[in-house]
Amino acid sequence: MNCALITVGDEILIGQVTDTNSVWISKRLSASGIRVGEMVTVSDDASRIRATLDRLMGNYELIIMTGGLGPTKDDITKQTLADYFGSRLITHPEALDRITHFFRVRGRNMLESNIRQADVPEGCEVLMNNQGTAPGMWFEKDGTILVSLPGVPYEMKGLMEDHVLPRLRKIVQKPLVMHKTIMTQGVPESYLAVLLKSWESGLPGCVKVAYLPSPGIVRLRLTLQDHCAEEAEQILKVEIDKLLDIIPEHIFGFDEISLEEALGALLREKQLTLATAESCTGGNIARLITSVPGSSDYFTGSVVAYHDRIKADNLQVDETLISRFGAVSREVVEQMASGVMEIFHTRTAIATSGIAGPSGGTGEKPVGTTWIAVAAGERVYSRKFLFGGSRNRIITQASCSAMQLLRRLVLDMI
Amino acid sequence: MNCALITVGDEILIGQVTDTNSVWISKRLSASGIRVGEMVTVSDDASRIRATLDRLMGNYELIIMTGGLGPTKDDITKQTLADYFGSRLITHPEALDRITHFFRVRGRNMLESNIRQADVPEGCEVLMNNQGTAPGMWFEKDGTILVSLPGVPYEMKGLMEDHVLPRLRKIVQKPLVMHKTIMTQGVPESYLAVLLKSWESGLPGCVKVAYLPSPGIVRLRLTLQDHCAEEAEQILKVEIDKLLDIIPEHIFGFDEISLEEALGALLREKQLTLATAESCTGGNIARLITSVPGSSDYFTGSVVAYHDRIKADNLQVDETLISRFGAVSREVVEQMASGVMEIFHTRTAIATSGIAGPSGGTGEKPVGTTWIAVAAGERVYSRKFLFGGSRNRIITQASCSAMQLLRRLVLDMI
């Protein structure tokens, strides 16, 4: 099945917003065996939308269109589609019920513009939006399926997962392509490639490998084609077992699990509790840990000790250590970890202290210098890192390294 | 000047890589008064590239094409352009000199494929690449300028800044399009549209308005065409002044400033310090505040009190209030704010307590219920919110609302 994507929105054409919807949609379609042949972004302008539809309808089996379904005047996709299909807008009762309910539970009044979000072109199939108020629409004409979705990413994703992808999977007979992603932390891409060189050269020809780096984490994606599911799983299992032998300390999970989810699952399994004492990461580790539903079962809290006074007053760090070794030191970060563990009565802790930049670096401690301590019961492990890149990259890398160090300490892999 | 962008690359169509080049190019063109009317991504396939050129050449004054200029077999843009313009590839001596130099200084051997990177279609103007080996190309035909650039972002950016943008600025006489973005917090898109209805209907015809919602924040973009810069600025200033009269409490800044930057600038200006006491936001507010370079000047730290015990032990919250009113209550969140202000010796504070979900909601306090307190000196203001959406959305909305409430309290706008 051949597909074209249409994004509607001036905000993308003027460079105000990066179109992240297209890459998300393409990835899912690709995994379902649907090939995206073209992506096009056009203005919120009826004549441009029509011209694009004229060109693509009939030439692609599937068109997915996002954007322009909001409640304000600049949103013209729905009326344009009604005109294009020679139809008119009618109020869809179930969509209106949903919208009414959406506002009732939030205790907010409905406006005329909200009610009009239940209007859809007569004759289309309506896809219920479980995340917001603008329903999706499914049209079929001239051998082309045209799907129109809101541009708000989480609403688009919800509609794709709830309706569009399941329907498409029934239509497309999927050729078997199996992916397995191995999540690694602690080794940059190029070093990982060196560590895995002989493993890679011994791979069967049918297995392709790709390195997908992001700050602090490298994903290793294995792809296998043209095998039956059982065979494919067996082949991938053999390779993953080899990886677990070569780099056990760097693998924290599979298939897009996050480090905070992996750490949370481990703490839950071992019935351990966690507190963090954060200086340079500024609350980012606590934020990541608590982004996982149910994290209150193992996470008690954090002290973000941005000022040195807080480290002394609220984390029991000896002030003479701060003046002697500096706040970015093994001595201070270890006391921060044991301090927060004692104050918050937890069995594990993470502490960070570093120079996130862009200023504040010295010759001895340049920007990126970060001390991380992790503690579990009586054991404390600390290590100095030198992270590169922007302030945000340094914070992200420090957060990932800290969570992985605690995993390794709990697993006796340090 | 009207422009179309063509991105060539299968890696984008299968969703492996997000196209960040287009947004970067559009932003710069827009700032130079050039309007991007369409963006299209096509496969590394000669017939698809030709069909796209056939459609766009002559209809746009400018086409910028990126991708497909690398040294490997799947890079076919150059040959396709030579065929399209009825020309042939010739070796460009200066480009070859540059490539030879590039390899010599790196002490690497040149491959045949590297030498072929100096080949360009006869008759085009060659743009020297100071960042890499693939030169850019400038063609003119049928009233259209066609520029072809490598897809590697830093090489593309270098060629745009060194050659393409300076040339275009000479061709374009005056900026035809001016944008101004007003950043708002606290009113959903559809409500904002109602508040601004009469303002919108009184807008001069040359000013277009667009609402760009994201969790917690709505950006209002004004666009003005066909005026000289001075006139345009004057017209936009009048409209912005009106907005500042209608929704002063919801505007926190202009042109993509973040809420954490706006709050930080205000605290710095007023020489105030800040601490946060976070329950449901789990450190996210501290993380946002400290993502701003120099935030240590006004931010001292945070207590993430995820467990109620921490609220009592470490934030001086009266335990009888927790058992009587629950942790998600005005009484508790106000004590959290004054507690952290006292413990951390700051002049302002933010506190949050809510149910981020997906579980934990009750009939009386459903998921999304969030109490926020802000304090500045003796004044404490607190308010209950009911946020919708996923766990992450609830946390994001609570964080934005909390920072904006503190801004308003400091500015005496509450």
Show residues of chain B in contact with A343, CB under 8 Å: 313-314
pLDDT digits (tens, 9 = 90+) for A204-262: 988 888 887 788 899 898 988 767 778 888 999 999 999 999 999 999 999 889 999 99
Mark yes or no for CB contact A287/B290 under 8 Å: no
Q: How far is B126 from chain A (nearest CA, A)?
A: 27
Mark yes or no for CB contact A306/B293 under 8 Å: no
The per-residue pLDDT of chain B, averaged, comes to 93
Euclidean distance between CA atoms B68 and A161, whole angstroms: 33
CATH number assigned to the domain comprising residue A304:
3.90.950.20
For an interface test with B, the pick among A2, A214, A287, A289 (most B C-beta atoms closer than 10 Å) comes out as A287
Contact criterion met (CB below 8 Å) for B256 and B214: no
Say whether both B161 and B272 belong to one domain.
no
Mark yes or no for CB contact A111/B194 under 8 Å: yes
Show residues of chain A in contact with B36, CB under 8 Å: 13-15
For an interface test with A, the pick among B40, B45, B304, B403 (most A C-beta atoms closer than 10 Å) comes out as B304
Say whether both A195 and A161 belong to one domain.
no
CATH number assigned to the domain comprising residue A222:
3.30.70.260
Give the per-residue pLDDT at A371.
98
pLDDT digits (tens, 9 = 90+) for B306-328: 999 999 999 999 999 999 999 99
Q: Token digits for A166? A: 């399941």
Euclidean distance between CA atoms B366 and A219, whole angstroms: 37
Burial B228-250 (b: 16+ CB within 10 A, else e): eeeebeebbeebbeebeeebebb
User: Whose CA is closest to B376, among B404, B324, B338?
Assistant: B338
Q: What is the CA radius of gyration of chain B?
A: 28
The answer to whether residue A175 scores a pLDDT higher than 70 is no
Show residues of chain A in contact with B39, CB under 8 Å: 12-13, 39-41
Say whether both B378 and B351 belong to one domain.
yes
Minimum Cα–Cα distance from B177: chain A residue: A14
Euclidean distance between CA atoms A9 and B212, whole angstroms: 10
Mark yes or no for CB contact A27/B39 under 8 Å: no
Say whether both A380 and A267 belong to one domain.
yes
The answer to whether residue B175 scores a pLDDT higher than 60 is no
Mark yes or no for CB contact B282/A293 under 8 Å: no
The answer to whether residue A125 scores a pLDDT higher than 70 is yes
Say whether both B50 and B82 belong to one domain.
yes
CATH number assigned to the domain comprising residue A10:
3.40.980.10
Say whether both B144 and B18 belong to one domain.
yes
User: Whose CA is closest to A289, among A254, A264, A255?
Assistant: A264
Nearest by CB to residue B358, choosing from A276, A293, A345, is: A293
pLDDT digits (tens, 9 = 90+) for B216-252: 999 999 998 777 778 888 999 999 999 999 999 999 9
Give the per-residue pLDDT at A176.
64
Mark yes or no for CB contact A296/B305 under 8 Å: no
User: Whose CA is closest to A9, among B295, B213, B327, B84?
Assistant: B213
Minimum Cα–Cα distance from B29: chain A residue: A14
Nearest by CB to residue B314, choosing from A15, A55, A343, is: A343
Euclidean distance between CA atoms A372 and A405, whole angstroms: 9
From the CB of residue B345, how many other CB atoms can be counted at a distance below 10 Å?
A: 13
Mark yes or no for CB contact A13/B25 under 8 Å: no
Nearest by CB to residue B23, choosing from A18, A37, A309, is: A18
Mark yes or no for CB contact A22/B41 under 8 Å: yes
CATH number assigned to the domain comprising residue B239:
3.30.70.2860
What value does the mean pLDDT take over residues A316-320?
A: 95
> Among B136, B171, B206, where does a domain finish?
B171
Say whether both A232 and A339 belong to one domain.
no
Return the HEC string of B54-97. Answer: HHHECCECEEEEECCCCCCCCCCHHHHHHHHCCCCEEECHHHHH
Say whether both B235 and B132 belong to one domain.
no
Say whether both B113 and B214 belong to one domain.
no
pLDDT digits (tens, 9 = 90+) for A33-59: 898 999 999 999 999 999 999 999 989
Helix boundaries (H) for B88-152:
93-106, 112-115
For an interface test with A, the pick among B47, B258, B302 (most A C-beta atoms closer than 10 Å) comes out as B302
Q: How far is A316 from chain B (nearest CA, A)?
A: 13
- pTM (global) more than 0.95: no
**What letter represents residue B166's amino acid?**
P
Query: Is the interface score ipTM higher than 0.85?
Result: no
Say whether both B265 and B357 belong to one domain.
yes
Mark yes or no for CB contact B291/A395 under 8 Å: yes
> Among A221, A236, A254, where does a domain finish?
A254
What value does the mean pLDDT take over residues A18-22?
A: 93
pLDDT digits (tens, 9 = 90+) for A56-89: 998 999 999 999 998 888 889 999 999 999 999 9
Helix boundaries (H) for A108-228:
112-115, 153-159, 165-171, 189-195, 197-201
Give the per-residue pLDDT at B348.
98
pLDDT digits (tens, 9 = 90+) for B57-112: 989 999 999 999 877 777 899 999 999 999 999 999 999 999 898 888 777 778 88
Show residues of chain B in contact with A395, CB under 8 Å: 290-291
For an interface test with B, the pick among A1, A16, A20 (most B C-beta atoms closer than 10 Å) comes out as A16
Mark yes or no for CB contact A296/B284 under 8 Å: no
Mark yes or no for CB contact B193/A71 under 8 Å: yes
User: Whose CA is closest to A314, among A285, A290, A335?
Assistant: A335
Show residues of chain A in contact with B62, CB under 8 Å: none
Q: How far is A143 from chain B (nearest CA, A)?
A: 21
pLDDT digits (tens, 9 = 90+) for A262-272: 999 999 999 99
Helix boundaries (H) for A118-188:
153-159, 165-171
**What letter represents residue A254's amino acid?**
F
Give the per-residue pLDDT at A319.
95
Nearest by CB to residue B14, choosing from A26, A106, A276, is: A26
Minimum Cα–Cα distance from A45: chain B residue: B37
The per-residue pLDDT of chain A, averaged, comes to 93
Number of domains chain B is built from? 3
Query: Residue A246 sits in which domain range?
Result: 177-254
Give the per-residue pLDDT at B176.
63
The answer to whether residue B127 scores a pLDDT higher than 60 is yes
Say whether both B275 and B393 belong to one domain.
yes
The answer to whether residue A330 scores a pLDDT higher than 90 is yes
Chains A, B: CB contacts within 8 A come to: 272
Show residues of chain A in contact with B181, CB under 8 Å: 16
Show residues of chain B in contact with A43, CB under 8 Å: 37-38
Contact criterion met (CB below 8 Å) for A378 and A388: no
Minimum Cα–Cα distance from B213: chain A residue: A152
Euclidean distance between CA atoms B50 and B47, whole angstroms: 5
Q: How far is A124 from chain B (nearest CA, A)?
A: 25
Say whether both B364 and B290 belong to one domain.
yes
**What letter represents residue A70's amino acid?**
G
For an interface test with A, the pick among B23, B191, B218, B385 (most A C-beta atoms closer than 10 Å) comes out as B23
Minimum Cα–Cα distance from A273: chain B residue: B307
Mark yes or no for CB contact A305/B301 under 8 Å: yes
Give the per-residue pLDDT at B256.
83
> Among B171, B190, B219, where does a domain finish?
B171
Minimum Cα–Cα distance from A297: chain B residue: B307
**More confident site: B142 or A355:** A355
